[in-house]
Amino acid sequence: MKIKKVLGIAGAVLVAAVLGGCIYLNTLMPIITGYAAKNLASAVFVSGREAADVQALDLHFSFIKFNKNKVDYENKTVTSRFLWAKATAAYREGYGVTLLRGKGKKEFLAQEYPLPKDCYEDYLQPGDSELTARLEPIAKALVDDRSYNGHPFAFVVLHKGGIVAERYDKGITAETQLLSWSMGKSFTNALVGIMSKDGMVDISAPMDIPEWQNDGRKDITLSNLLQMQSGLQWNENYGNRSDVNLMLHRETDMGKYALSKPLENEPGTVWYYSSGTTNIVMRYLRGKFPSDDAFLAYMRERLFAPLAIANPRFEPDMSGTPVGSSYLYVTARDFARFGQLFLDDGCIGTERILPEGWVDYTVTPASASEGAYGAFFWLNRNHVCPDVPEDMFSCQGHDGQEIYIVPSKELVVVILGYSRKPDRVIDFNGVLKDIITQL
């Protein structure tokens, strides 16, 4: 009888464990399927990459690699299935890809967004040819031989505003639009600066977000958000069922999800990296315009057009708001011109794009960041790249998307590609050190 009782208890525990595991796995399904569908669709329909290559490299990890992915080239959708769950992402011309969640999918896809197909002359010119020759071995080692580790797609170096190195992986060209991941946060910084210059926002004033007006969140400023010191509760762990994963792969209105979080610390006192804060900012900026089209037209006219960025895809969530934290697609040269804008104190030639003093504000360390972070830009005040000048600041994105800006060396370095922890991370410090030694 005792044996039967023990076996009965063991069986019940096993059943409970299996049931609990299935319940938890079910909560992960939107993330597992959504990540595959969204990223495969964007890579195929925006970047023009081969689906098989994307699945073998970008999607070959954790549960993500077990998805069964169907690419519908006629309707420009990708459907990803894992066990009992599925997710679909769809491409719309001019906007890029959106993960379809919640209600209103048909209405969302039926909407027309007539955007101009702008064509701008690239104002970047070749730089010092002797320096280009000296940097050629570095470009080859990085992209062709992968001696610096990882799997780079694109490499562009500007020195004194001229192109001194440029190299692309097989299947990638100077016209290929590539994913920013969190470098999109830095573009959001620039958009805030431009709207501040136009008198549309005040970064130092408390924000007029209705949901925040009855508690301590009413004191949060745009500057608090830009410096990642909002005090809002958030979990940015990419490896589990975290806030950032749920926001990107489950929510239809990402900014609304992030702003719903309670206040955990007094604004401006604690630094914590949060993609949610950027989507709050983007949603707030969108609210200053009467429509999605008006907001996008403003971005194109005031930010992208001066940078000669043609047909950028700042991909929206289903609310129509661009996902400022993560989903911008432009070319490697576009990213380089953006870096040069900040190197040149917010000016392009004699035209001032960002307000005077904005770059200084951007590279001022957030008070609680220990020199690691400014305003939606990373800093080197904490010597995270020990062989690079301290004045370097950077845009950094998931899987190793990087724009490095080194004012003291008049240098901008763009590296885009696949660089996943723990064993395939590009030696960015080494690349920068080797470039600087050749100047």
pLDDT of residue 248 exceeding 90: yes
pLDDT of residue 117 exceeding 90: no
Q: In which element (H, E) is residue 2 found?
A: helix 2-45
Confidence label for 94 from pLDDT (cuts 50, 70 and 90): confident
The whole-number pLDDT of residue 120 equals 84
Please give the DSSP secondary-structure letter assigned to residue 341: H
User: What kind of architecture, by CATH, is found in domain 129-437?
Assistant: 3-Layer(aba) Sandwich (3.40)
The whole-number pLDDT of residue 11 equals 54
Amino acid at 258: A
The whole-number pLDDT of residue 148 equals 97
Out of 104-108, 208-212, 342-346, least confident range:
104-108
pLDDT of residue 388 exceeding 80: yes
* pLDDT 10s digits, 14-41: 555 555 555 666 778 999 999 999 999 9
* pLDDT 10s digits, 279-304: 999 999 999 999 998 999 999 999 99
The whole-number pLDDT of residue 103 equals 81
The whole-number pLDDT of residue 393 equals 98
Q: What is the dihedral of CA 212, 217, 218, 222, to 10 degrees?
A: -100
Average pLDDT over residues 339-354: 97
- Regarding predicted confidence, which is higher, 9 or 177? 177
The whole-number pLDDT of residue 7 equals 53
Please give the DSSP secondary-structure letter assigned to residue 207: P
The whole-number pLDDT of residue 3 equals 65
The whole-number pLDDT of residue 91 equals 95
Average pLDDT over residues 163-173: 97
Residue limits of CATH 3.40.710.10 in the chain: 129-437
Cα–Cα dist 65/194, whole Å: 41
* 264 close to 180: Cβ distance less than 8 angstroms: no
pTM of the full structure: 0.94
pLDDT of residue 43 exceeding 90: yes
The whole-number pLDDT of residue 82 equals 95
Cα–Cα dist 427/190, whole Å: 28
CA dihedral over 390, 399, 225, 313, signed as positive or negative: positive
Q: Which residue has the tokens 């194109």?
A: 300
Mean of the per-residue pLDDT values of the chain: 93
